[in-house]
Amino acid sequence: MIFKNLSKHFYISITLVSFIFFLDRVTKIYVLNLNDEALASELFSSKFLNIILVWNKGIAFGLFSFYQNYFYNFLTVIISLIIFVLFIIILRSNGLKKYSLLMIFGGAMGNLYDRIFFKAVPDFIDFHIGEFHWFVFNIADIFITIGVISMILIELIGNNKKKYE
């Protein structure tokens, strides 16, 4: 009975979140296995890209990295609450806004999984130009960033349309 009322948008949403979560898991498992085999933190190196395993105990880009367990657990609970609120917002959204939020949700779920099971998030993509290195990140972070940028653009475009009407 419940399944009759589910729309195709629900299935698309579940597929998108599942795809992001799956892609994130596969890449992290691959890098972790490479790290076990190589016994080194630098797994690949090129002119602009390194694959280097870094365990992030903080939030985005290593912010708020502390080694106290109580603070880490508190941060994990806060992140879980934010993800729950994000889920509620997704249920009330539609269109491009909904899909932007789904990208953020899928990436956040991937990183939350790591925080719970590994007590840290494995980051491994290191872009650099010469000696300037960007923050090390992972696939989940890419989708979170794309979702946030999309949300900003949606809000800017939406506000500009309202301003000229």
Question: Which residues carry out catalysis?
Answer: 123, 141
User: Measured between alpha carbons, how far is 71 from 78 in angstroms, rounded to an integer?
Assistant: 10
User: Measured between alpha carbons, how far is 50 from 133 in angstroms, rounded to an integer?
Assistant: 10
The partner residues of 126 in beta bridges, in order of sequence, read 50
Token representation of residue 97:
């806004």
Length of the chain, please? 165
* Matching residue, tokens 């991937």: 110
